Amino acid sequence: MESGSGIGTQGGAAAPADLAWARGVDAYTMGAYPQAEEEFRTAVRLDPGMADGWLGLHALRIDTTTALLHMYRHRDRFGEQRARHRRTLNSWYWLGWWVQP
């Protein structure tokens, strides 16, 4: 890995986990949700600390509790892929009826 490279890059080129994440965002954007799930699962299998990969699974409503826990655990990397690829990806979490702002 080159000096200054991020965890998701190898030798200045995008690593397989990064490429899977980018393909996942593309599939999600096009509404190809099964393909998006496969790509985000590949991303977090290859790089379990990729918070944005977990965000993708959370956005798809795939095992949201696990995804949320992993996003929190790896919060120091939250936004890494979105910044690197200049892509957006959003999700939301229902806290319940009785949560006060």
Q: Nearest CA to 67 among 93, 98, 28?
A: 93
Residues 53 and 23 sit within 8 Å (Cβ to Cβ): no
pTM here is 0.78
pLDDT band for position 29 (cuts 50, 70, 90): very high
Tens-place pLDDT, residues 18-27: 999 999 999 9
Helix (H, G, I), strand (E, B) or coil at 10: strand
Tracing tokens 């006060």 back to the chain, one arrives at 100
Between 63 and 95, the higher pLDDT residue: 63
DSSP 63-79: SHHHHHHHHHHTGGGTT
pLDDT band for position 38 (cuts 50, 70, 90): very high
Average pLDDT on 47-73 reads 94
Neighbours of 33 (CB within 10 A): 14
